[in-house]
A and B are shown apart, each in its own frame.
Chain A
């Protein structure tokens, strides 16, 4: 039992450290959750990530993430921190000076897309597209004169001229002015360097901070829901003495996984939330097998104390616990080693940590808590 206590202490320390880390240092959220821009570039010449990073810093993007991507050595994935969007006041000021250019026309919409590549305005009267463009340039927007859009859709009265489109559907006068978005600026900067000549943008994606926030909240809520439902199930199937132990083990696993993530700066993405949910299921799987044996043994070994029964049960199932962990780890390690360069890496890393911690917790956290609770509150024997 003394050893058990030592493990429990270790766990408590780990959980506290992880929590502190998660709160004070904060895990690194991916663009799914934080918003930001992700650009996938294929270079024509060999280039180091340091060179790319330097170019990005010159362009004003500090703290960008640059990783090689795909089978070839020419592919790079560039992740940019969300660029400070125009504050409400700044946007309002721009809107106001934009408004000043139009007499007797109300500007009722003035939106800049999260990727910064488009300004959408809605006016109460039709205006010349060129005039709208000029007004946009005048208030400091950087027009994208490279991408020429031509589109003519008479069904919806959408017309495009060089950099802008107007959309006059059902009496709405909407103007979309193409701007040099963040990814355009980055590509321009990269291509200007000797190593970047002819570099191709394979993909560019951005997520607005608002959408990210929503996803993050939903993710947290879903982990919470999973915990509640699982706890209910344990209460129904077992005994409410068991439930706190199982859930403590679970929370322990999730928190420590997040803690390891924080420590190693692994990105928290949507895939990691899926991994965390899987860990929730997996860790319980282990715990429940042990609980099941405890319950069975309680009926067979009547004269012993609960702590002894638990000891016997853990030992009986130890083989199985380790074997299952080994087979699952075999898989996770193979995903990890083969998929190191793809988006699946963070997902597999989360699973790897989760499986290790989950195995540990079902033996050294869940059962001791059941014993401890029994000593503290329950004098009766099962």
Chain B
């Protein structure tokens, strides 16, 4: 008995100690500190991410987007219409044309004759498609069709849901903590609890030094590297640090570099660059981006549709197309027709014709100008136009503010899209040190890619994201193995290029959105409301806590001490657990904690009342305690489980404020049962251990 008691005591003490240590990160976080500026050791942050204040407490950014479901519906309509046309051809040997209607869900089928349209075959096929499209009206050779309402609703619902999931994944990839992505109706709301950078001052230098220290720590664990120099460099009004490491051989350098890159990624440190020069490894550490850039980046990553496609460039055909529309181009207008010598196939050199337009300084982008112009022109059925952005360079080869857009005359889809991409990563070219995006296809994608490259040797392939051509590499040979590289434009600085590559990787990993999304609102939610609420919540917590401690002491005397110890342990455990799972603290969450504390003593009350009864029945203190705990256990269990069920239902409710409340309630139920049954029992065992004649309860 004595020995068991000691073990139990050690267990509880260790658990409480762990919870206390785990709470350190939370205390620092809620006090306004952050991981980067903390003096706490790194491993502590890893094990206990700490409780983060939610949007209502800390303030932050709320972005609302509307999913352009019309595009998804149009997409669906086109597919249904095309499959109808195909079915008419296969089953009734009829040639039918399809025309898009004025609204996204409407289309028309044009038959060759009125008798065709009215034939039984057609009626049969319509009946087969009843679940997708319905006949609205008919006249002459034309049938007016509409997409089925059920299908429209389904398409709407699924595209909003998918968009939400994809954005969620992108946010995860970006490593933004505690960001919630929720959907309501056709809107997607992204809430990022964050401080406006401008609000904290003077911390930048300190923060940068901390970042340098972390990078050094990572580097010291990355093999035999020797730090040669470490200097702070002023660059355009900003400071950055340059660390130069030396290794024994070039192989050792590249191995260490890979480890460092992994370490940096794990620690989600941004703005750290590594460059290899012979046996030297140069690491530069810059300040975190300032706010506007950071927010702009988040917005850009969220709103990219990210539909990646691989298409062959038809240089050979570009001539006849663009020369054919030459008359329509206003020679004094912003659009110019240009030509360039390009290779299109083995030993086949052709003239590549394309249109070019500059960005207007205060107006339309060159792409918009080109797109508006092309709207009026019919592009052959099996061709599409892509756009590519170029920064104009001055004589010295430095980028200017001038931006030009050019067209690419592309063959229609090859069937190889971003859906077949399994993984993406930013790598650095060994020769020119430029970052590029390395793609890895899945098995089917790899096979398609091999076939595609094999069939198009010495031709150019456009890698197109949404409608922008990222690059147009020439295919030197058949490429097996399912690897592909996307190089990015050369005109920008290294940092911008790296950032762009990183962003591309984020969206490629998460996959494309089913329809474009459009931002409808972005607001900074001020923390003013939150600060009051936290103060209020903490005060309420303290008052309630002390009131209950005193109440239990007065009412149960010695037993009250045990109950009070259990209550304190309970509170420490709640904070410890929430800190470990990295929970978000919202106002309802605070209420949840306070409420749990009120209900936590319930279990003790049930036990104590029982012990009192047993004592009255004439049992010895030890026997009374034994019986009290034994009999009370199932009562407590049954009683708490009902509240637990209600908590689980709240978790399913979906509204995040309520979820926050439910999580704290559930954690509280578990810890209060543990502390009431296990911890207070230890206290009683201690009080009754020497065959005590009386028990203070």
Q: Which residues of A contact B (CB under 8 A)?
A: 40, 70-71, 106, 108-109, 113, 118, 120, 122, 124-126, 154-157, 159, 167-172, 174, 176, 202-203, 208, 210-211, 214-215, 218-219, 222, 225-226, 229-230, 233-234, 237, 270-271, 273-274, 277-278, 280-282, 284-286, 288-289, 292-293, 296, 316-317, 319-320, 323-324, 326-332, 334-335, 338-339, 342-344, 347-348, 351
Choose from B71, B552, B639, B649 the contact partner of A285 (Cβ within 8 Å): B639
Cβ contacts under 8 Å, A316 to chain B: 613
Please tell me if the beta carbons of B544 and A330 are within 8 angstroms of each other in the complex.
Answer: yes
**Nearest 5 pairs between A and B by C-beta?**
A281-B643, A331-B598, A281-B646, A284-B642, A331-B544
Please tell me if the beta carbons of B646 and A154 are within 8 angstroms of each other in the complex.
Answer: no
Which residues of chain B (617-635) have a CB below 8 Å from chain A?
A: 631, 634-635
A342 to B606, CA, bound (A): 34
Cβ contacts under 8 Å, B645 to chain A: 226, 229-230, 233, 281
Cβ contacts under 8 Å, A323 to chain B: 555, 605, 609
11 contacts between A and B (CB under 8 A): A167-B518, A168-B368, A170-B305, A215-B655, A237-B638, A274-B661, A284-B642, A285-B639, A288-B635, A320-B605, A344-B591
Name the segment of B113-121, B142-150, B359-367 touching the other chain. B359-367
Cβ contacts under 8 Å, B526 to chain A: 202-203
Of chain A, the residue at the smallest CB distance from B610 is A320
Choose from B70, B305, B525 the contact partner of A122 (Cβ within 8 Å): B70
Please tell me if the beta carbons of A70 and B642 are within 8 angstroms of each other in the complex.
Answer: no
Please tell me if the beta carbons of A327 and B372 are within 8 angstroms of each other in the complex.
Answer: no
Please tell me if the beta carbons of B516 and A320 are within 8 angstroms of each other in the complex.
Answer: no
> Quick one: CB contact mask for B653-674 with A, threshold 8 Å, 1 for yes?
1110110011001000000000
Of chain A, the residue at the smallest CB distance from B597 is A331
Cβ contacts under 8 Å, A280 to chain B: 642, 646
Of chain A, the residue at the smallest CB distance from B600 is A327
Cβ contacts under 8 Å, B533 to chain A: 339, 342-344
New A-B pairs, 8, CB < 8 Å, besides A170-B466, A271-B657: A108-B70, A125-B375, A211-B184, A230-B645, A277-B647, A292-B639, A330-B548, A334-B594
Please tell me if the beta carbons of A210 and B185 are within 8 angstroms of each other in the complex.
Answer: yes
Q: Which residues of B contact A (CB under 8 A)?
A: 66, 68, 70-71, 102-104, 184-185, 300, 303-305, 359, 363-365, 367-368, 371-372, 375, 403, 466-467, 516, 518, 520, 525-526, 528-529, 532-533, 536-537, 539-540, 543-544, 547-548, 551-552, 555, 587-588, 591, 594-595, 597-599, 601-602, 605-606, 609, 613, 631, 634-635, 638-647, 649-650, 652-655, 657-658, 661-662, 665
A289 to B652, CA, bound (A): 27
Cβ contacts under 8 Å, A344 to chain B: 533, 536-537, 587-588, 591
Cβ contacts under 8 Å, A176 to chain B: 520
Please tell me if the beta carbons of A106 and B102 are within 8 angstroms of each other in the complex.
Answer: yes
How far is the CB of B53 from the nearest CB of chain A, in Å?
15
Of chain B, the residue at the smallest CB distance from A291 is B638
A113 to B521, CA, bound (A): 11
How far is the CB of A53 from the nearest CB of chain B, in Å?
22
How far is the CB of A126 from the nearest CB of chain B, in Å?
6
Please tell me if the beta carbons of A278 and B643 are within 8 angstroms of each other in the complex.
Answer: yes
Cβ contacts under 8 Å, A229 to chain B: 645, 649
Of chain B, the residue at the smallest CB distance from A222 is B653
Of chain A, the residue at the smallest CB distance from B649 is A226
Please tell me if the beta carbons of B639 and A288 are within 8 angstroms of each other in the complex.
Answer: yes
Please tell me if the beta carbons of A270 and B658 are within 8 angstroms of each other in the complex.
Answer: yes
Most A C-beta atoms less than 10 A away, residue of B184, B368, B516, B650: B650
Please tell me if the beta carbons of A288 and B638 are within 8 angstroms of each other in the complex.
Answer: yes
Please tell me if the beta carbons of A343 and B649 are within 8 angstroms of each other in the complex.
Answer: no
Given A109-B70, A159-B364, A172-B71, does the pair A285, B658 have CB atoms closer than 8 Å? no
Cβ contacts under 8 Å, B525 to chain A: 203
Choose from B102, B587, B653 the contact partner of A218 (Cβ within 8 Å): B653
Cβ contacts under 8 Å, A326 to chain B: 551
Choose from B184, B359, B591, B640 the contact partner of A347 (Cβ within 8 Å): B591
Of chain A, the residue at the smallest CB distance from B184 is A211
Given A108-B103, A203-B525, A229-B649, does the pair A330, B598 have CB atoms closer than 8 Å? yes
Cβ contacts under 8 Å, B640 to chain A: 285
Please tell me if the beta carbons of A172 and B551 are within 8 angstroms of each other in the complex.
Answer: no
Given A277-B646, A278-B665, does the pair A327, B602 have CB atoms closer than 8 Å? yes
Choose from A109, A118, A218, A237 the contact partner of B520 (Cβ within 8 Å): A118
How far is the CB of A204 from the nearest CB of chain B, in Å?
9
Please tell me if the beta carbons of A324 and B588 are within 8 angstroms of each other in the complex.
Answer: no
A255 to B365, CA, bound (A): 61
How far is the CB of A246 from the nearest CB of chain B, in Å?
9
Cβ contacts under 8 Å, A289 to chain B: 606, 635, 639
A348 to B525, CA, bound (A): 24
Cβ contacts under 8 Å, B304 to chain A: 155
Cβ contacts under 8 Å, A154 to chain B: 359, 365, 367, 403
Choose from B543, B551, B555 the contact partner of A334 (Cβ within 8 Å): B543
Of chain B, the residue at the smallest CB distance from A221 is B653
Given A106-B102, A339-B540, does the pair A156, B303 have CB atoms closer than 8 Å? yes
